[in-house]
Chains A and B, each alone.
Chain A
């Protein structure tokens, strides 16, 4: 089945890994060497459209990477087709919920600023 094609998952996993690596490196440097962030700074920074877009890219990479990880574990260890479909369905629904919720949170935040 095309949905379970290994190459697409492989590419998505590697690309999202590189995106996450860049964000985590930047975040770790900021955490280690920058002053603590206040609410007002965080609020103002994340309300800029470009910053909110960058946070959305981070969320998309994290959720896409999580999807490939869950998918790989399920395909390796859950063999009955019905159960496999159910577990993947629950995972996909959960990740889709988190993605939509993040879009709503960030869009309303940018609009409220």
Chain B
């Protein structure tokens, strides 16, 4: 094997990514090549520096910020569904009220006989509190209660 150009073999060698045959060939070359051996030492030193390099901790609020974002509407993207749901609810309530009013009107006009309707109206009028005849039972009762007072 000739000298490893630009770390072509040395780099995968220190990463354990070189095939078995290539490892044998490289190691026999390293045994007789000072330049490649020196390169290998330097490359290992570089890797050693990386093993001491800091692994950062995520900022304390990262997880909660992410969860807040994914639970919020922005994570789902803009949607017209909530707008239409609210609109449909309002329309349904208005339709129910209108249907109630209309069916009530129909009930009074069509189902209840006209003369019975008049009786209902007259029963609610002040005429039902007209003075009772003097010889009636009701009149006698009223006289008795007034005397007690």
User: A and B: real partners?
Assistant: no
